Structure 1
Amino acid sequence: MKMMFIALAAAAMLTGCALTPPLERPASPVPAAYPLRDDPVTDRTAADLGWRSMFNDPALQRLIELALTHNRDLRLAALNVEMVRAQYDVQKAAELPHLDAGVSMTRERVNAGGQRATQTQAGASVGITAFELDLFGRVRASSDAALARYLASAQGRDAARIALVGAVAQAYFAERLAQAQLALATRTVEDWRGSLALVRQLRAANQTGALELAQAEAQVASSEADREARQREAERRGHALAQLVGQPLPADLPEGASLMEAAVITQLPAGLPSQLLARRPDLRQAELALVAANAEIGVARAALFPRISLTASVGTASPGLKDLFRGGSGVWSFAPQITQPLFHAGQLRREVRLAELRKSAAVLEYERAIEAAFREVADGLSGRERYARQAEAQQRVVQAADRRAALAELRYRAGVDSRLEVLDAQRQLYAARQAALDLRGEEIGNAIALYKALGGGLSENDRVLPEARSRQ
């Protein structure tokens, strides 16, 4: 027993000669500031804005709540985190010796000097089996890699949560847009049917020709076909939203705001590109993947060196169970083993090279993730600056097209213009209104994309950083 404890103490003193190289994180491959920025630099960004404040719509808030509970992709991401955590726990346990207790009894018949005899051997022992002395840090590096993978999976779960909140919001407003387009198409059908009735009256009074009647009928048929297409699109958007939520949409869903009245914050604070590294889980996930790949180099390097393992046990043995625990029956065993790789046809060194290449790939993946995040934020900021101006200009287009359509109708009734001028004005008005709806949908979509790109959507309620709170 004393010798076993001495061996374990020596193992603890010898472990820790790690061969894992120091991790040098690459410099950020993006500029220090975003383009087209005119907002003041603050400690707060969109990541501090809870999704309830970002989307002040009771229907959407209810749907996000349901999705966070029932969405299967998010539940799968949570299970993956638990599985990776279990793998880390298994690997971490390998750093400590495992004690096993055993009781055995052997009874056999033998021939000795022409006489048959029965022998009994009983034993009880406690010991460790093949405990590796981590002289070169192989076990520790494996644990470090497993820990980094576990932490990366947790960041992946958070990234999936952000993506889900954004996806539900995008799908919800896409459904709102489809409903608004359907309402506009339905109203247009009714308006153009009224115009067709007028043309028919004029035709019955011989005040217009068959060509103008055919044009009006074709216009109504076209609007009816467009309405059916809008109806189909609205249904498809509803199905997509239900899939994201993970269950059928509830019947008691609160009444949501119309698309043009949707309460969505479009002017979001951006902060600095350096803040993305701390605010976006997917970037932290890529960084932890780099940490894991670096630790795997230590594992591969340690495989080139000797591996020492200990097997030791203490216990008792006797010819029978009744004498098993009597004095003088103690036994012990101590069996150290050292294994030195001699010839593996270059396999071990190639595994080191493979680990180094994987780290290089992880560096590039990390840099690429940062570049993609920067581009997403830059695109969102560009849209933030331009969509409001474009929407204001489009509203002027709608107002002008509305005036033209009204004047064309009056001039047609007065016999000044032909029916063709009225048809063209009505089509232009319809296209202008549809463009205004599309533009509003794009503006909201850009705001959601910028919110996600800045790391928003992880928290439900607003959060303020301690350094920012101290100045308030």
Structure 2
Amino acid sequence: MNKHPIKLALILAASLSACSMAPTYQRPAMPVPAQWSQQTAAGQAVSQLPWRDYFADPALRKLIDTALENNRDLRVAALTVKKYEAQYRIQRAAQFPTVNATGSETATRTPAALSSTGKERVSHQYAAGVGISSYELDFFGRIQSLKDQALEQYLSMEESQRTTQISLVAQIASDYLTLAADRERLLLAQSTLQSYQETVSLMTRKAQAGSSSALDVAQAQSGLESARADLARYTSLVEQDIDTLSMDVGSDVSKDLLPEKLPEQITSFADLPAGTPSDVLLTRPDVIQAEHQLKAANANIGAARAAFFPKIALTASGGFGSVMLDDLFKGASRTWTFMPQISIPIFDAGLNSANLDVAKINRDIYVAQYEKAIQTAFREVSTALTQHGSLVEQESAQVSLTTAYADVDRLTRLRFDKGVENYLNVLTAQRNLYGAQQNLITIRQSRQANMVTLYKVLGGGGVQEGKSAS
């Protein structure tokens, strides 16, 4: 077989390296301060720590695991990544020639009236060969640029999947804290209701004995009804919280995984390390996604520029042809074709120029979107850090306030038992303590939810790093 055309085409394909015409990529400068102004800042360890190491509660870990298996949004994100990975492989395959093997037989019947011999004749032709069809030599990097664009789009979708998964992890943790706080409030309402019931019984007996007034009984009854209303409200909220958690997890939640009250610490960090530069935002998946989209737009400029230059395509084949099947693979039956083709753009009414302008404008759009992603991330982290420092101080103050109200409640009751205090002051002290306890639960929930938020906005390692394609 004469293989020279096939060899020539393959040698050209392998030896002619594309010279990409895409602009040299340069990461835009970060349009935010170099460091947050807050004294308490989250360290890079937080942004890179896997969620299993960050969240300390075993029940919460099981719920997150279940959610990651069942969540439909996450399934869609994973399938989208697979789709873009396949599209990248398709575009990468265009860099290589497609080689096909062919075989054929042609049988032709010639009637006697048309035959030169005056007799009916049946002729056969046999052919077998290998060929390359319309392979474009990428002199100016058009195909390389399109492959680079497809790669960046694929990597962008991987980061989108990471964003979806981190958001899901944070949502489950937030749902868990909401349920824990409402169940703790429910327990407090039950305890307070029981205390008011005992007080109403006591005041009723005292009124019957003449040592208390009907006003005292009515005041105690008002506290009882207020606690009863809270009990009904928190019972309903707990049921709603369980339904919400089950929906986000994607299945019914086992009772042994439901928190009875807020954990002391939902994370493995009692507090956050200090002094982190703002470039930690570059590890956030949404920021990385925006940069991959920018790189894809940058690569597309190379493809648009290459359209101004000639396109060279090769078609080549080599094989055997014979009228006798027995003679098909003999040396005299060798055949080959070699057909290079060049297409030179001459007039396109400004089409290529417009396409290049669109590519450049798209690149500028993605630059702005990348900068906006960084600014949004910086603002979210800054807000969360500000809240973190405030919530720590609020919790400390609320603990002191609750302790003080507990002392007031205890001393007021002692004075009432000795007959030197009226019941209205006892009721006021009891209500103040109950309100302080409720507020303490709220602040503790907010502080722990803030730790979840910080992990999310810092781009915590809630998902395995995406595999890089080559």
So what's the TM-score if we normalise by structure 1? 0.87
Which consecutive unaligned segments of at least 5 residues does structure 1 have? Answer: 461-472
Map of 1:285-434 to 2, 5 A cutoff? 285-410=289-414, 419-434=423-438
Question: In the TM superposition, what is the alpha-carbon distance from 1:373 to its structure 2 partner?
Answer: 1.9
Indicate which of 257, 262, 265 corresponds to 2:265: 262
Contact 2:165 2:463 in 1 (8 A): no
Match of 2:467 in 1: none
Deviations 1:370-413 (A, max 9, x none): 11222222223223322222111111221232233344445556
Deviations 1:262-316 (A, max 9, x none): 3532422255335415532332222111111111111222223322211111111
* Letter of the 1:103 counterpart: G
What value does the CA root-mean-square deviation take over the aligned residues? 2.9
Match of 2:106 in 1: 106
Question: In the TM superposition, what is the alpha-carbon distance from 1:440 to its structure 2 partner?
Answer: 0.2
Contact 1:401 1:428 in 2 (8 A): yes
Question: In the TM superposition, what is the alpha-carbon distance from 1:70 to its structure 2 partner?
Answer: 3.6
Equivalent-residue separation in structure 2 for 1:391 and 1:275 (angstroms)? 30
Overall identity of the aligned pairs, in %: 39
So what's the TM-score if we normalise by structure 2? 0.87
* Letter of the 2:453 counterpart: A
Contact 1:47 1:458 in 2 (8 A): no
Equivalent-residue separation in structure 1 for 2:207 and 2:345 (angstroms)? 101
Match of 2:62 in 1: 62
Cα 1:161–1:397 shift into 2, 3 Å? same
* Letter of the 1:59 counterpart: A
Cα 1:80–1:273 shift into 2, 3 Å? farther
Q: 2:256 aligned with 1:236, yes or no?
A: no
Equivalent-residue separation in structure 1 for 2:255 and 2:232 (angstroms)? 24
Deviations 1:207-245 (A, max 9, x none): 655555444434323322221221222222222223333
Question: In the TM superposition, what is the alpha-carbon distance from 1:18 to its structure 2 partner?
Answer: 2.0
Question: In the TM superposition, what is the alpha-carbon distance from 1:113 to its structure 2 partner?
Answer: 4.6
Equivalent-residue separation in structure 2 for 1:51 and 1:368 (angstroms)? 27
Q: 2:166 aligned with 1:162, yes or no?
A: yes
Contact 1:126 1:314 in 2 (8 A): yes
Which consecutive unaligned segments of at least 5 residues does structure 2 have? Answer: 465-470
Question: In the TM superposition, what is the alpha-carbon distance from 1:318 to its structure 2 partner?
Answer: 1.9
Question: In the TM superposition, what is the alpha-carbon distance from 1:26 to its structure 2 partner?
Answer: 0.9
Q: 2:7 aligned with 1:5, yes or no?
A: yes
Question: In the TM superposition, what is the alpha-carbon distance from 1:183 to its structure 2 partner?
Answer: 0.8
Q: 2:185 aligned with 1:186, yes or no?
A: no
Cα 1:229–1:457 shift into 2, 3 Å? farther
Indicate which of 107, 110, 125 corresponds to 1:121: 125
Equivalent-residue separation in structure 1 for 2:62 and 2:229 (angstroms)? 34
Query: Number of paired residues?
Result: 457
Equivalent-residue separation in structure 1 for 2:51 and 2:71 (angstroms)? 17
Cα 1:407–1:84 shift into 2, 3 Å? same
Deviations 1:308-366 (A, max 9, x none): 21111111122243332233112112222223344544333322222222211211121
After the TM superposition, which segments of 4 or more aligned residues of structure 1 sit over 6 Å from their partners? none
Equivalent-residue separation in structure 2 for 1:393 and 1:297 (angstroms)? 58
Contact 1:122 1:317 in 2 (8 A): yes
Cα 1:151–1:385 shift into 2, 3 Å? same
What is the SS of the residue equivalent to 1:328?
helix
* Letter of the 2:58 counterpart: P
Contact 1:303 1:348 in 2 (8 A): yes
Match of 1:16 in 2: 18
Cα 1:90–1:151 shift into 2, 3 Å? same
Question: In the TM superposition, what is the alpha-carbon distance from 1:433 to its structure 2 partner?
Answer: 0.9
What is the SS of the residue equivalent to 1:148?
helix
